[in-house]
A = this chain, B = another copy of it.
Amino acid sequence: MRRPTAPGLDRQRLLAAAFEVLEKDGLEGLSMRRLAAHLGVQAPAIYWHVNDKAELLGMMARDIYAAAYAAVPAARDWREWLSLFGQALRQSFSSHRDGARLCAQAQPPATADPASHAHRIAGELMALGLDQQTALMFQAAVISYALGWSAFEANGPMHQFLDTLMGFDDNYRIGLDAMVAGFPSPSW
């Protein structure tokens, strides 16, 4: 439990420790003070490496999204890619305790060059035939659904029904598949 304060902090160790605390204590338990204690350090030390808690949460969210993008296997068309991406997202959200709730409330760090960032995240879909604008729109819709599903999963009074009827994963797929199938094909 005691970290002997080790080499010295940096953003990497901070981030890794933050995920450990998240796993152990959940999103409400992830306080700057607990994080500091987990690192064997005083709370204000964290502020040398990070501006505030929001920035830390943003970095965590960025990593969760990045893991999802990295996990999407090769696809033969854009619909398949979106479907796989939707599944990878859900997987990545649920691979950390409160992952979706974290992403829903954290603001990933604003990228320095938004244009190149947009190109990077839309790249796969563009290679499969979508123009960038359409790629971003469809991707935004899938992300929204994935995000909302995980939030909704835990909190609706429908909860009892959905899992007894089919299981959450199957229910998730229904909405995802419907959305992906329903996206209009580009018109050229």
With a cutoff of 8 Å between Cβ atoms, the chain B residues found around residue A142 in the complex are: 175
With a cutoff of 8 Å between Cβ atoms, the chain B residues found around residue A146 in the complex are: 148
Number of copies: 2
How many residues from A make CB contacts under 8 Å with B? 52
With a cutoff of 8 Å between Cβ atoms, the chain B residues found around residue A152 in the complex are: 104, 140, 143-144, 147
Per-position 1/0 for A89-117, Cβ under 8 A of B: 00000000000010011111111001001
Q: Pick the contact of A137 from B109, B156, B171, B184 — CB < 8 Å?
A: B171
A69 on the interface (CB 8 Å rule)?
A: no
Give the interface of A toward B (CB within 8 A).
Answer: 61, 101, 104-111, 114, 117-118, 121, 133, 136-149, 151-152, 154-158, 160-162, 165-166, 171, 174-175, 177-184
